[in-house]
């Protein structure tokens, strides 16, 4: 059954604060994992420099640098939980960065294993991370308040579920930062009668948020394990309007097209033509696009029919982001 089409044509004029969007950058899981080695390498370099260049002061300065880095890493990074999967995981396979088997992620000490009152943490997340930025759509804020993010992260990370950052899930993937999920949902401008396609199910969290806002969500995940975990989670939470498909999401899911909204949660080098073709007239797509693994732009693409009756795809830049790669025929 094709989804209902939406004919309201036009762009949502939407401000995306550069610095808010850029908040995804320092909190990428790869950075979190690599922070201590970088700190150690920097400390080693400083030590070598001081011993070679400033011998008279080297003893004092080396001691100072060692104390400084110990203080910094102890204050800001506590021993994190083990990565759930026992095997070596790729965090963004184009960058080739690996977290070793049993490697530890570092998290702000303040958050570690703190007893969590999910409801108040969730309300605080909505107020501080979303409303204080540029998320003003009441339906989106309500949806973000309703979906229990702590049910979509590994058990060991439950107490970190409402932090302002993406978190690792199985298979070397991530659950997106809450702000990015809300920003995407808001930019799509969804209605309760809409049908939405999500590419990159991951944990299923964004699919649940979209399911709160629309009639139907089809979500495609290339990794069968993540797809089955997400499906089980969504069923357990009572989401009956989400269909999880295993496959190459760069090709979309033509069986249920056209879609009023498409949310792509992994970044490719360009907008996949198959996805653009599955947008309904007036439909919107949010997709991170970029030439490298480190920086992409979050684009809002709107399919419009111009005065001459021709189809056009208008583009608006929502700001800089960093996502895991979109791997497939029309991706990387």
User: In this chain, which stretch among 79-87, 125-133, 202-210, 298-306 interacts with ligand SAM, using CB under 6 A?
Assistant: 202-210
Tokens of 226: 């993540």
Question: Minimal distance in Å, beta carbon 177 to ligand SAM?
Answer: 10
Nearer to ligand SAM, 275 or 280 (CB): 275
Nearer to ligand SAM, 282 or 320 (CB): 320
Angle between the N-to-C axes of helices 29-53 and 58-76, in degrees from 0 to 180, rounded to the nearest 10: 170
Of these, 65, 205, 239, 259, which contacts ligand SAM (CB under 6 A)?
Answer: 205
Distance CA 72, CA 82 (A): 21
Residue 324 sits in the site that holds ligand SAM (CB under 6 A): yes
Nearer to ligand SAM, 80 or 288 (CB): 288
Binding mask 172-191 for ligand SAM (x = CB under 6 A): -xxxx---------------
Radius of gyration of the chain, Cα coordinates, nearest whole angstrom? 21
* Number of residues counted as binding ligand SAM (CB under 6 A): 26
User: In this chain, which stretch among 8-16, 78-86, 122-130, 320-328 interacts with ligand SAM, using CB under 6 A?
Assistant: 320-328
274 catalytic, yes or no? no
Q: Please name the residues in contact with 34: beta carbons below 8 A apart, sequence gap of 6 or more.
A: 97
Nearer to ligand SAM, 189 or 200 (CB): 200
Residue 327 sits in the site that holds ligand SAM (CB under 6 A): yes
Nearer to ligand SAM, 250 or 302 (CB): 250
Of these, 29, 165, 188, 199, which contacts ligand SAM (CB under 6 A)?
Answer: 199
DSSP 222-278: S-HHHHHHHHHHHHHTT--SEEEEES-GGG--GGG--EEEEEE-SBBSS--HHHHHT
Residue 203 sits in the site that holds ligand SAM (CB under 6 A): yes
Question: DSSP class of residue 329?
Answer: T
Nearer to ligand SAM, 16 or 174 (CB): 174
Residue pointed to by tokens 């990794």 = 223
Give strand pairing partners of 216. 195
Sign of the alpha-carbon dihedral angle for 259, 265, 266, 270: positive
Q: Which of these is catalytic: 176, 203, 267, 274?
A: 176
- The answer to whether the CB of 283 falls within 8 A of the CB of 259 is yes
Question: Minimal distance in Å, beta carbon 314 to ligand SAM?
Answer: 24
Q: Which residues, numbered 216-255, are part of the site for ligand SAM (CB under 6 A)? A: 220-223, 226, 248-250
For residue 100, how many other CB atoms are within 10 A of its CB?
10
Closest listed residue to residue 184, CA positions, set 163, 203, 168, 199: 199
Of these, 29, 105, 244, 266, which contacts ligand SAM (CB under 6 A)?
Answer: 266
Residue 206 sits in the site that holds ligand SAM (CB under 6 A): yes
Backbone φ/ψ region at 113: left (φ over 0), alpha (ψ -120 to 50), beta: left
Tokens of 308: 């001459």
Q: First CA to last CA across the chain, in angstroms?
A: 30
Binding mask 42-71 for ligand SAM (x = CB under 6 A): ------------------------------
Binding residues for ligand SAM, rule: CB under 6 A, are 173-176, 199-200, 202-203, 205-206, 220-223, 226, 248-250, 265-266, 323-324, 326-328, 331
Return the active site residues.
Answer: 176
């Amino acid at each position: 059954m094709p989804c209902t089409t939406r004919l309201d044509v036009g762009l949502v004029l939407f401000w995306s604060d550069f610095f808010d969007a850029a908040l995804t950058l320092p909190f990428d899981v790869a950075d979190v994992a690599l922070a201590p080695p970088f700190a150690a390498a920097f400390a080693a370099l400083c030590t070598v420099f001081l011993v070679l260049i400033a011998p008279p002061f080297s003893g004092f300065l080396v001691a100072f640098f060692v104390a400084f880095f110990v203080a910094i890493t102890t204050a800001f990074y506590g021993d994190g939980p083990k990565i759930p999967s026992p095997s070596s995981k790729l965090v963004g396979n184009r960058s080739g960065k690996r977290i070793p088997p049993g490697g530890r992620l570092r998290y702000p000490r303040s958050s570690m294993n703190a007893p969590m009152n999910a409801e108040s943490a969730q309300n605080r997340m909505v107020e501080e991370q979303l409303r204080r930025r540029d998320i003003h759509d009441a339906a989106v804020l309500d949806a973000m308040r309703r979906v229990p993010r702590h049910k979509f992260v590994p058990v060991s990370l439950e107490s970190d579920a409402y932090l302002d950052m993406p978190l690792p899930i199985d298979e070397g993937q991530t659950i997106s930062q809450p702000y990015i999920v809300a920003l995407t949902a808001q930019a799509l401008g969804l209605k309760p009668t809409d049908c939405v396609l999500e590419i990159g199910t991951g944990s299923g969290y964004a699919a649940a948020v979209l399911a709160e806002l629309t009639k139907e969500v089809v979500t495609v995940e290339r990794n069968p394990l993540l797809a089955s975990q997400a499906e089980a989670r969504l069923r357990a939470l009572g989401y009956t309007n989400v269909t999880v498909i295993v496959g190459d999401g760069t090709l979309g899911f033509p069986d249920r097209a056209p879609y009023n909204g498409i949310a792509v949660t992994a970044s490719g080098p360009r907008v996949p033509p198959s996805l653009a073709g599955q947008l309904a007239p007036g439909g919107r797509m949010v997709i991170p696009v970029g030439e490298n693994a480190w920086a992409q732009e979050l684009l809002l693409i709107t399919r419009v029919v111009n005065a001459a009756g021709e189809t056009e795809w208008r583009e608006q830049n929502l700001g800089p982001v960093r996502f895991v790669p979109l791997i497939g025929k029309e991706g990387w």
